[in-house]
């Protein structure tokens, strides 16, 4: 009887030790999971010592060179990566090769997100560059001939933006229901029988010899020796929704370094540079 009691007591002791051990292991696992979760969460945060910034060549790159100098004085290193198109800087940002980018307006970003399943968000507005109509042969948009060839950007948002300009100039009418995302197929009135040719935005300045008119973004106009204030025949209205934005991944929107970057960008030095360098073709939106 005593042996049975001793055996039973031993079994209970073993079970108790195993249970305690399992509890400790479970607690350790939970702690480890919490630690790993915290580490994983923190690994997505942007460095407060260095940022990699994507820009398009031209004005956006020039502005960020000024921002870079101001940031360096405050101990933040900025590496600028320049691109010659509108798609790759967003792809690079979404894939983590860039920390932020600065070159696009919100409608373009939102369309990119929809098309590519990305989660890019606008952190703060930067500058406005009015898109304009240019020609090597015409001096007035009202002199546009019948059957004229018109080059417009082939990306969805800038393409619609270009068509809206021609509607504002009174040359076409768009379907009101699809106006904000219009394509040439949404033109309901085209009395001059204008032929709209969709081309890569960066190529449009080089195609002025091949078309009667072309709608060109401000940065590409400046890169190719065109003065948006003097050379454009017609520009979009001043209340344009197409203000350029500094863009980040959604998880980095509230990173403290973004607020610091905003303070550098919104400095008097940057505002003065934009106004003087681009002679009004670009406007600092914070002024």
The residues pairing with 216 across neighbouring beta strands, listed in sequence order, are 132
pLDDT averaged over every residue in the chain: 87
pLDDT band at residue 238 using 50, 70 and 90 as cut-offs: low
C-alpha 58: how far from chain center: 16
Residue 191 and residue 170: Cα distance in Å, rounded?
10
Q: What is the mean pLDDT of residues 128-153?
A: 96
The 10s digit of each residue's pLDDT in 162-213 is 999 999 999 999 999 999 889 999 999 999 999 999 999 999 999 999 999 9
Structure token pair of residue 261: 């970057």
Buried b (16+ CB within 10 A) or exposed e, 147-173: ebebbbbbbbbbbbbbbbbbbeeebbe
Residue 235 and residue 222: Cα distance in Å, rounded?
15
pLDDT band at residue 156 using 50, 70 and 90 as cut-offs: confident
pTM confidence score = 0.70
Which run of H or E residues covers position 133?
Answer: strand 132-134
3-state SS class at 66: helix
The 10s digit of each residue's pLDDT in 4-47 is 444 444 544 444 444 444 444 444 444 444 444 444 445 689 99
Buried b (16+ CB within 10 A) or exposed e, 30-62: eeeeeeeeeeeeeeeebeeeebbbbbbbbbbbb
In terms of Cβ atoms closer than 10 Å to its own Cβ (0-12, 13-18, 19+), residue 195 is middle
Residue 162 and residue 171: Cα distance in Å, rounded?
12
For residue 253, CA distances in Å to 12, 44, 51, 62 come to: 56, 11, 14, 24
């Amino acid at each position: 009887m005593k042996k049975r009691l001793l055996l039973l007591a031993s079994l209970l002791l073993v079970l108790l030790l195993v249970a305690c051990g399992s509890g400790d292991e479970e607690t350790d696992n939970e702690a480890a999971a919490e630690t790993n979760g915290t580490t994983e969460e923190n690994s997505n945060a942007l460095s407060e010592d260095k940022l990699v910034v994507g820009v398009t060549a031209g004005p956006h790159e020039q502005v960020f060179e000024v921002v870079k100098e101001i940031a360096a004085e405050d101990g933040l290193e900025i590496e600028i990566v320049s691109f010659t198109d509108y798609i790759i800087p967003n792809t690079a940002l979404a894939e983590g090769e860039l920390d932020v980018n600065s070159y696009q307006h919100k409608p373009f970003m939102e369309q990119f997100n929809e098309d590519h399943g990305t989660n890019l968000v606008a952190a703060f507005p930067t500058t406005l560059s009015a898109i304009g109509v240019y020609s090597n042969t015409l001096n007035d948009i009202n002199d546009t001939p019948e059957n004229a060839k018109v080059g417009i950007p082939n990306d969805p948002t800038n393409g619609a933006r270009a068509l809206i300009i021609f509607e504002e100039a009174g040359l076409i009418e768009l379907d009101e229901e699809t106006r904000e995302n219009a394509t040439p197929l949404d033109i309901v009135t085209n009395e001059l029988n204008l032929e709209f040719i969709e081309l890569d935005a960066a190529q449009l300045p080089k195609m002025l010899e091949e078309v009667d008119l072309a709608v060109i973004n401000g940065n590409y106009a400046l890169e190719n020796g065109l003065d948006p204030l003097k050379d454009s025949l017609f520009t979009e209205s001043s209340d344009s929704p197409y203000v350029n934005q500094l863009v980040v991944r959604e998880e980095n929107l509230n990173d403290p370094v973004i607020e610091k970057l905003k303070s550098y960008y919104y400095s008097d030095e940057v505002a003065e540079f934009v106004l003087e360098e681009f002679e009004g073709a670009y406007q600092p939106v914070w002024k």
